Copies of this chain bind each other. A is one copy, B any other.
Amino acid sequence: MKRLKVSIIGSGSWGCAISKIVGKNVLKRNTFDKRVSMWVYEEIIEGRNLSEIINSTHENVKYLKGHKLPETVVATPDLVEAITDVDILIFVLPHQFLKRCLDTLEGKIKSTAVAISLIKGFQTSVDGDIELISKYITSRLKIQCSVLMGANIANEVANEVFCEGTIGCATKEMKQTFKELFETNYFRVAVVDDTQTVEACGALKNIVACAAGFSDGLLYGNCTKTAIIRIGLMEIKMFINTFLSGSEISTFFESCGISDLFASCYGGRNRKCSALFVEKGKSIYDLEKEILNGQRLQGPSTAEAVNIMLMKKGLEKKFPLFTAVHRIFNFEISPRKLLDHI
Protein backbone atom coordinates (compact mmCIF):
# COMPACT_ATOMS: atom_id res chain seq x y z
CA MET A 1 0.00 0.00 0.00
CA LYS A 2 1.25 3.43 -0.86
CA ARG A 3 2.03 5.57 2.16
CA LEU A 4 -0.13 8.63 2.71
CA LYS A 5 1.56 11.97 2.20
CA VAL A 6 0.61 14.65 4.71
CA SER A 7 0.88 18.40 4.35
CA ILE A 8 0.32 21.11 6.94
CA ILE A 9 -0.98 24.32 5.39
CA GLY A 10 0.04 26.97 7.87
CA SER A 11 2.85 27.46 10.35
CA GLY A 12 1.54 29.76 13.05
CA SER A 13 1.63 28.70 16.68
CA TRP A 14 -1.21 26.17 16.32
CA GLY A 15 0.19 24.83 13.05
CA CYS A 16 3.61 24.33 14.62
CA ALA A 17 2.16 22.78 17.79
CA ILE A 18 0.23 20.27 15.71
CA SER A 19 3.29 19.66 13.52
CA LYS A 20 5.12 18.45 16.65
CA ILE A 21 2.48 15.72 16.97
CA VAL A 22 2.01 14.90 13.30
CA GLY A 23 5.73 14.91 12.57
CA LYS A 24 6.29 12.27 15.25
CA ASN A 25 3.18 10.20 14.54
CA VAL A 26 4.11 9.62 10.88
CA LEU A 27 7.15 7.71 12.12
CA LYS A 28 5.09 5.35 14.26
CA ARG A 29 3.06 3.70 11.51
CA ASN A 30 3.63 2.47 8.02
CA THR A 31 0.45 4.25 7.02
CA PHE A 32 2.25 7.53 6.44
CA ASP A 33 5.03 8.91 4.32
CA LYS A 34 7.80 10.00 6.69
CA ARG A 35 8.13 13.49 5.24
CA VAL A 36 5.51 16.08 6.20
CA SER A 37 5.51 19.27 4.16
CA MET A 38 4.56 22.48 5.94
CA TRP A 39 3.59 25.58 4.02
CA VAL A 40 5.09 28.71 5.52
CA TYR A 41 3.96 32.22 4.68
CA GLU A 42 7.42 33.58 4.03
CA GLU A 43 8.71 36.32 6.29
CA ILE A 44 12.16 37.75 6.78
CA ILE A 45 13.43 37.34 10.34
CA GLU A 46 16.70 39.14 11.06
CA GLY A 47 17.70 38.94 7.43
CA ARG A 48 16.83 35.24 6.92
CA ASN A 49 13.80 33.52 5.42
CA LEU A 50 11.54 31.99 8.07
CA SER A 51 11.22 28.76 6.04
CA GLU A 52 15.01 28.39 5.95
CA ILE A 53 15.28 29.02 9.68
CA ILE A 54 12.70 26.32 10.33
CA ASN A 55 14.47 23.83 8.08
CA SER A 56 17.91 24.47 9.57
CA THR A 57 17.08 25.01 13.27
CA HIS A 58 13.75 23.10 13.41
CA GLU A 59 12.23 25.94 15.32
CA ASN A 60 9.67 28.53 14.30
CA VAL A 61 11.41 31.37 16.09
CA LYS A 62 8.58 33.78 15.40
CA TYR A 63 5.43 31.81 16.27
CA LEU A 64 6.48 28.96 18.56
CA LYS A 65 9.77 29.92 20.08
CA GLY A 66 11.53 27.36 22.24
CA HIS A 67 10.00 24.25 20.68
CA LYS A 68 11.86 21.85 18.42
CA LEU A 69 9.78 20.62 15.50
CA PRO A 70 10.44 17.05 14.35
CA GLU A 71 12.92 16.74 11.50
CA THR A 72 10.24 15.01 9.44
CA VAL A 73 8.55 18.40 9.07
CA VAL A 74 9.92 20.25 6.05
CA ALA A 75 8.96 23.88 5.56
CA THR A 76 8.36 25.41 2.17
CA PRO A 77 7.13 28.84 1.13
CA ASP A 78 5.78 27.39 -2.12
CA LEU A 79 2.16 26.43 -1.54
CA VAL A 80 1.85 24.31 -4.68
CA GLU A 81 5.03 22.43 -3.87
CA ALA A 82 3.72 21.82 -0.35
CA ILE A 83 0.59 20.04 -1.59
CA THR A 84 1.85 18.22 -4.66
CA ASP A 85 0.89 14.55 -4.55
CA VAL A 86 -0.41 15.00 -0.98
CA ASP A 87 -3.17 12.73 0.40
CA ILE A 88 -4.04 14.53 3.65
CA LEU A 89 -4.16 18.33 3.78
CA ILE A 90 -4.22 19.87 7.24
CA PHE A 91 -5.56 23.43 7.07
CA VAL A 92 -4.34 25.45 10.02
CA LEU A 93 -3.85 28.98 8.80
CA PRO A 94 -5.53 32.18 9.89
CA HIS A 95 -9.02 32.34 8.58
CA GLN A 96 -8.47 35.57 6.61
CA PHE A 97 -5.76 33.92 4.44
CA LEU A 98 -7.89 30.91 3.51
CA LYS A 99 -9.54 32.34 0.42
CA ARG A 100 -6.27 33.34 -1.21
CA CYS A 101 -4.77 29.98 -0.31
CA LEU A 102 -7.65 28.11 -1.95
CA ASP A 103 -7.41 30.34 -5.03
CA THR A 104 -3.90 28.96 -5.49
CA LEU A 105 -4.77 25.35 -4.66
CA GLU A 106 -7.93 25.04 -6.77
CA GLY A 107 -7.50 22.37 -9.43
CA LYS A 108 -4.06 21.31 -8.17
CA ILE A 109 -5.13 18.84 -5.46
CA LYS A 110 -4.96 15.08 -5.94
CA SER A 111 -8.54 13.95 -6.60
CA THR A 112 -8.37 11.26 -3.88
CA ALA A 113 -7.03 13.66 -1.25
CA VAL A 114 -8.93 14.58 1.90
CA ALA A 115 -8.70 17.69 4.02
CA ILE A 116 -9.02 18.36 7.73
CA SER A 117 -9.53 21.87 9.01
CA LEU A 118 -8.21 23.12 12.35
CA ILE A 119 -9.47 26.64 11.64
CA LYS A 120 -11.96 27.98 14.15
CA GLY A 121 -14.61 30.43 13.06
CA PHE A 122 -17.06 30.87 10.24
CA GLN A 123 -16.62 31.97 6.66
CA THR A 124 -19.07 34.61 5.48
CA SER A 125 -20.57 33.90 2.07
CA VAL A 126 -21.19 36.55 -0.60
CA ASP A 127 -24.81 37.04 0.49
CA GLY A 128 -23.77 37.54 4.12
CA ASP A 129 -24.66 34.07 5.33
CA ILE A 130 -22.45 32.05 7.57
CA GLU A 131 -20.68 29.15 5.93
CA LEU A 132 -18.72 26.42 7.66
CA ILE A 133 -15.06 26.54 6.73
CA SER A 134 -15.04 22.80 6.00
CA LYS A 135 -17.91 23.30 3.54
CA TYR A 136 -16.07 26.18 1.92
CA ILE A 137 -12.92 24.07 1.50
CA THR A 138 -15.00 21.24 0.02
CA SER A 139 -16.78 23.59 -2.37
CA ARG A 140 -13.52 25.06 -3.61
CA LEU A 141 -11.30 21.96 -3.77
CA LYS A 142 -13.94 19.26 -4.41
CA ILE A 143 -12.55 17.04 -1.66
CA GLN A 144 -14.08 16.00 1.65
CA CYS A 145 -13.11 18.05 4.66
CA SER A 146 -13.11 16.90 8.27
CA VAL A 147 -12.41 19.11 11.30
CA LEU A 148 -10.33 18.95 14.48
CA MET A 149 -11.59 21.17 17.30
CA GLY A 150 -11.69 21.17 21.09
CA ALA A 151 -10.33 22.86 24.18
CA ASN A 152 -6.74 23.09 23.08
CA ILE A 153 -4.46 26.06 22.93
CA ALA A 154 -1.28 26.04 20.88
CA ASN A 155 1.04 26.62 23.82
CA GLU A 156 -0.51 23.95 26.01
CA VAL A 157 -0.31 21.36 23.21
CA ALA A 158 3.23 22.44 22.35
CA ASN A 159 4.20 22.01 26.00
CA GLU A 160 2.81 18.50 25.82
CA VAL A 161 0.44 18.96 28.73
CA PHE A 162 -2.63 16.76 28.78
CA CYS A 163 -5.62 17.94 26.81
CA GLU A 164 -8.27 16.64 24.46
CA GLY A 165 -9.55 17.20 20.95
CA THR A 166 -12.51 16.15 18.85
CA ILE A 167 -12.38 15.17 15.21
CA GLY A 168 -15.58 15.55 13.22
CA CYS A 169 -14.85 13.04 10.51
CA ALA A 170 -16.41 13.61 7.09
CA THR A 171 -14.71 10.59 5.50
CA LYS A 172 -15.69 7.33 7.13
CA GLU A 173 -12.60 5.41 6.01
CA MET A 174 -10.31 8.04 7.52
CA LYS A 175 -11.47 7.69 11.15
CA GLN A 176 -8.63 5.44 12.23
CA THR A 177 -6.07 7.25 10.09
CA PHE A 178 -6.90 10.64 11.59
CA LYS A 179 -6.71 9.21 15.08
CA GLU A 180 -3.27 7.75 14.31
CA LEU A 181 -2.13 11.06 12.85
CA PHE A 182 -3.25 13.35 15.69
CA GLU A 183 -3.44 11.35 18.91
CA THR A 184 -0.62 11.10 21.44
CA ASN A 185 -0.51 10.10 25.08
CA TYR A 186 -0.92 13.77 26.08
CA PHE A 187 -3.39 14.78 23.34
CA ARG A 188 -6.42 12.51 23.46
CA VAL A 189 -8.66 12.58 20.43
CA ALA A 190 -12.25 11.39 20.02
CA VAL A 191 -13.63 10.88 16.52
CA VAL A 192 -17.31 11.53 15.85
CA ASP A 193 -19.42 11.72 12.68
CA ASP A 194 -21.22 14.90 13.59
CA THR A 195 -18.79 17.17 11.71
CA GLN A 196 -21.00 20.25 11.54
CA THR A 197 -21.65 20.33 15.29
CA VAL A 198 -17.97 19.90 16.07
CA GLU A 199 -17.09 22.80 13.81
CA ALA A 200 -19.99 25.12 14.69
CA CYS A 201 -19.33 24.79 18.43
CA GLY A 202 -15.80 26.10 17.86
CA ALA A 203 -17.16 29.30 16.32
CA LEU A 204 -20.36 29.90 18.30
CA LYS A 205 -18.76 29.39 21.71
CA ASN A 206 -17.00 32.72 21.19
CA ILE A 207 -20.33 34.56 21.41
CA VAL A 208 -21.07 32.84 24.70
CA ALA A 209 -17.56 33.63 25.96
CA CYS A 210 -18.37 37.32 25.40
CA ALA A 211 -21.52 36.98 27.51
CA ALA A 212 -19.43 35.26 30.20
CA GLY A 213 -17.02 38.18 30.00
CA PHE A 214 -19.86 40.66 30.51
CA SER A 215 -20.88 38.60 33.54
CA ASP A 216 -17.35 38.87 34.94
CA GLY A 217 -17.18 42.58 34.18
CA LEU A 218 -20.45 43.07 36.06
CA LEU A 219 -19.03 41.06 38.98
CA TYR A 220 -21.81 38.47 38.83
CA GLY A 221 -21.23 35.29 40.84
CA ASN A 222 -20.38 31.87 39.52
CA CYS A 223 -23.98 30.63 39.60
CA THR A 224 -25.22 33.52 37.47
CA LYS A 225 -22.28 33.04 35.13
CA THR A 226 -22.83 29.31 34.65
CA ALA A 227 -26.55 29.97 34.08
CA ILE A 228 -25.60 32.41 31.31
CA ILE A 229 -23.19 29.86 29.80
CA ARG A 230 -25.81 27.10 29.97
CA ILE A 231 -28.36 29.29 28.20
CA GLY A 232 -25.68 30.05 25.61
CA LEU A 233 -25.07 26.35 25.05
CA MET A 234 -28.78 25.83 24.45
CA GLU A 235 -28.67 28.56 21.80
CA ILE A 236 -25.63 26.95 20.17
CA LYS A 237 -27.59 23.70 19.96
CA MET A 238 -30.68 25.44 18.61
CA PHE A 239 -28.62 27.36 16.06
CA ILE A 240 -27.08 24.14 14.71
CA ASN A 241 -30.51 22.53 14.53
CA THR A 242 -31.99 25.56 12.76
CA PHE A 243 -29.27 26.55 10.30
CA LEU A 244 -27.12 23.44 9.88
CA SER A 245 -27.74 19.74 9.55
CA GLY A 246 -28.78 19.22 13.18
CA SER A 247 -26.74 17.83 16.03
CA GLU A 248 -26.17 14.69 18.04
CA ILE A 249 -26.57 15.67 21.67
CA SER A 250 -23.59 13.46 22.61
CA THR A 251 -21.27 15.66 20.54
CA PHE A 252 -21.70 18.48 23.07
CA PHE A 253 -20.14 16.22 25.70
CA GLU A 254 -16.95 15.98 23.69
CA SER A 255 -14.01 18.34 24.05
CA CYS A 256 -15.34 20.48 21.17
CA GLY A 257 -18.53 21.07 23.16
CA ILE A 258 -18.60 21.75 26.88
CA SER A 259 -14.81 21.72 27.38
CA ASP A 260 -14.04 24.29 24.73
CA LEU A 261 -17.04 26.37 25.78
CA PHE A 262 -16.19 26.52 29.48
CA ALA A 263 -12.44 26.92 28.85
CA SER A 264 -13.27 29.97 26.70
CA CYS A 265 -15.72 31.31 29.27
CA TYR A 266 -13.20 31.10 32.11
CA GLY A 267 -10.03 31.87 30.12
CA GLY A 268 -9.47 33.24 26.65
CA ARG A 269 -9.45 36.67 25.15
CA ASN A 270 -13.09 36.98 24.15
CA ARG A 271 -13.98 36.69 27.80
CA LYS A 272 -11.23 39.05 28.89
CA CYS A 273 -11.97 41.80 26.38
CA SER A 274 -15.71 41.58 27.04
CA ALA A 275 -15.11 42.03 30.77
CA LEU A 276 -12.97 45.09 29.96
CA PHE A 277 -15.70 46.35 27.62
CA VAL A 278 -18.00 46.51 30.63
CA GLU A 279 -15.41 47.91 33.02
CA LYS A 280 -13.93 50.57 30.75
CA GLY A 281 -16.91 51.46 28.58
CA LYS A 282 -14.71 51.64 25.47
CA SER A 283 -15.73 50.23 22.10
CA ILE A 284 -14.56 46.72 21.31
CA TYR A 285 -12.67 48.18 18.35
CA ASP A 286 -10.62 50.39 20.67
CA LEU A 287 -9.99 47.46 23.02
CA GLU A 288 -8.79 45.30 20.14
CA LYS A 289 -6.31 48.05 19.23
CA GLU A 290 -5.14 48.51 22.83
CA ILE A 291 -4.98 44.93 24.01
CA LEU A 292 -4.71 42.72 20.93
CA ASN A 293 -2.46 44.96 18.87
CA GLY A 294 -5.27 45.41 16.36
CA GLN A 295 -6.05 41.69 15.98
CA ARG A 296 -9.78 41.07 15.72
CA LEU A 297 -11.72 39.19 18.37
CA GLN A 298 -13.85 36.39 17.00
CA GLY A 299 -16.79 36.79 19.39
CA PRO A 300 -18.12 40.19 18.30
CA SER A 301 -17.77 39.46 14.57
CA THR A 302 -19.39 36.02 14.95
CA ALA A 303 -22.23 37.62 16.93
CA GLU A 304 -22.69 40.11 14.12
CA ALA A 305 -22.70 37.47 11.36
CA VAL A 306 -25.11 35.31 13.38
CA ASN A 307 -27.34 38.33 13.96
CA ILE A 308 -27.64 38.96 10.23
CA MET A 309 -28.83 35.37 9.74
CA LEU A 310 -31.27 35.59 12.65
CA MET A 311 -32.72 38.87 11.38
CA LYS A 312 -33.26 37.45 7.91
CA LYS A 313 -35.37 34.66 9.37
CA GLY A 314 -37.01 36.80 12.05
CA LEU A 315 -35.48 34.60 14.76
CA GLU A 316 -33.78 37.18 16.97
CA LYS A 317 -36.21 36.59 19.84
CA LYS A 318 -35.59 32.87 19.76
CA PHE A 319 -31.88 33.50 20.35
CA PRO A 320 -31.98 36.15 23.07
CA LEU A 321 -28.41 35.65 24.29
CA PHE A 322 -26.78 35.73 20.84
CA THR A 323 -28.88 38.80 20.02
CA ALA A 324 -28.09 40.57 23.29
CA VAL A 325 -24.33 40.08 22.87
CA HIS A 326 -24.45 41.65 19.42
CA ARG A 327 -26.58 44.55 20.59
CA ILE A 328 -24.40 45.18 23.63
CA PHE A 329 -21.26 45.50 21.47
CA ASN A 330 -23.23 47.90 19.27
CA PHE A 331 -24.14 50.04 22.31
CA GLU A 332 -27.83 49.38 21.56
CA ILE A 333 -28.37 47.98 25.02
CA SER A 334 -26.35 48.28 28.20
CA PRO A 335 -24.43 45.21 29.45
CA ARG A 336 -26.33 45.73 32.70
CA LYS A 337 -29.49 44.74 30.80
CA LEU A 338 -28.05 41.39 29.67
CA LEU A 339 -30.08 39.39 32.18
CA ASP A 340 -33.31 41.20 31.27
CA HIS A 341 -32.85 40.02 27.70
CA ILE A 342 -32.18 36.36 28.30
Chain A interfacial positions (CB closer than 8 Å to B): 151-153, 156, 161-164, 188, 220-227, 229-230, 233-234, 249-250, 252-255, 258-260, 262-263, 266-268, 339
Contacts and interface: CB of A to CB of B under 8 A. Distances in A.
Contact of A255 (B152, B161, B220, B230): B230
B162 A263 contact: no
Contacts of A255: 226-227, 230
A204 to B, nearest CB: 15
Given A227-B163, A253-B234, A222 B267 contact: yes
A255 to B, nearest CB: 6
Nearest to A259: B226
Given A229-B262, A258-B258, A220 B161 contact: yes
A260 B266 CA distance: 15
Contacts of A156: 221, 223-224
Contacts of A226: 151, 255, 258-260, 262-263
Contact of A151 (B161, B223, B249, B253): B223
Contacts of A266: 222, 266
A223 B42 CA distance: 31
11 contacts: A151-B227, A153-B223, A163-B221, A164-B227, A164-B230, A225-B263, A226-B255, A229-B262, A249-B249, A249-B250, A258-B262
Interface centre among A156, A161, A220, A224 (most CB of B within 10 A): A224
A230 B259 contact: yes
A336 to B, nearest CB: 12
Nearest to A250: B249
A221 B254 CA distance: 18
Nearest to A222: B267
B227 A162 contact: yes
Contacts of A259: 223, 226-227, 229-230
A227 B339 contact: no
Nearest to A220: B161
Given A151-B222, A163-B227, A223-B259, 11 more contacts: A151-B223, A153-B221, A153-B222, A153-B223, A156-B223, A162-B227, A223-B263, A226-B262, A226-B263, A230-B255, A249-B249
Q: Enumerate the 10 nearest inter-chain pairs by beta-carbon distance, A residue then B residue, closest first.
A: A222-B267, A226-B259, A163-B223, A226-B263, A164-B227, A222-B263, A151-B223, A162-B339, A230-B259, A151-B226
A221 B227 CA distance: 23
